[in-house]
A and B are shown apart, each in its own frame.
Chain A
């Protein structure tokens, strides 16, 4: 059933002086302005698409697959080299420990990364069926280069330099479960044992 009703732009323009309040009350039965026809606005990056893979159902005997949540923030106004220090700080920590460390860190990027982690935690609990929000640890945390814009920076004596306005991306992957134990450091005794083992495992060739 096709719907038709009166109302056109030029009529409104003619009589707009008398009924200005009409323009606010768009209370017609079928307001067209609410119909969206666009599908997606921006091109999605590879990291965002990683949240879309669906694994087949697990058989009853298999160990439970830990949930993985990918999150990122693009075009942060910060240097990627400075952001790297914070990303390296968090790598391998549990999410509570990471949040605590970032809260008392003085860098500008710390506040941004904290927001990203909280968003990711919220997403995990709501959309990705993670049961306990503290049961997450940070498996990967990276900083990448964003788009740079070049500007002129004026020096004395009519000289100028080209300034780069620097932006970065930050990527994080949260995995369900306690954080993995750090590998124990290799002591001198272990190294010596290995050396002796190497010597003993040599084979003599072309001899009796």
Chain B
């Protein structure tokens, strides 16, 4: 007994060393971690914001740049660049008085910016000339309005830029438009030329403003065939400054209508046939309208 007791006590002591006396259950629970989501590396945790930015910039430069799969093509600018300011009383003063003569003297040749732009346009399009262009412009104008009246969308798109198209077409889907061009009162002439580049240098678009004094008839009928505006046998004199644009760098580009410039001194248009209600101020039940006034 004495000889075997000593190694058993020794064995128990060894076991107690190996297995520390803790309340260990029969089954072992191993905690499972969730996936690490927002992982911030150790070196980045303590840095101030500027340091982080700098390190990220250096990283980004080494990563490859991916291309955009959907490319798109800008066929026209979004607005009229440096719009022409028409002189006051343009068609109201006769050309025989002194002021009229002055206006006629203000030809294209006096504005330097227009001259520069004209030179750039002639670089890309050698056939362009300020003498022949206004007739072409008037033809485009007449054709565009005719195809608007006939709802010929394909032709209208080819004659009018994408910026002008919604302005012309909005609200007309269920209406009938009858437009006709009677005659031109004065020969059209070029008054303003500008050239711009969009996004990149050298991506040139040229814009030419043409002054047209014409006589036209317009009648708009609503969905039920009732006359909304104008009259078919009622010719009106119209003075307009129409802007034409062309994508110069594209060898197959064409001159298309881009927009119109409406001066502030232009006379107000005729009112429409129907009466429109303008809602008054909202009142409490206890208030009266006369008291508010």
- Residues of chain A touching chain B, judged by Cβ–Cβ distance below 8 Å, are 1-8, 11, 14-15, 17-19, 30, 32, 35, 52-58, 64-68, 125, 127-129, 131-133
Contacts and interface: CB of A to CB of B under 8 A. Distances in A.
Contact of B59 (A1, A15, A57, A65): A15
Interface of B: 38-40, 44, 52, 56, 59-60, 63, 65-68, 70-74, 174-176, 178, 199-200, 203, 219, 221-228, 274-275, 277
Contacts of A4: 67-68, 71
B226 A65 contact: yes
A45 B73 CA distance: 37
A1 B70 contact: no
Given A4-B71, A55-B223, A58-B226, A131 B274 contact: yes
Contacts of B71: 2-4
A3 B227 contact: no
Contacts of A65: 224-226
A55 B221 CA distance: 9
A54 B175 CA distance: 7
B60 A11 contact: yes
6 contacts: A4-B68, A17-B39, A17-B40, A58-B226, A65-B225, A129-B228
A58 B223 CA distance: 11
Contacts of A56: 176, 225
A55 B228 contact: no
A17 to B, nearest CB: 5
Contacts of A125: 277
A65 B200 CA distance: 56
B56 A54 contact: no
Contacts of B277: 125, 133
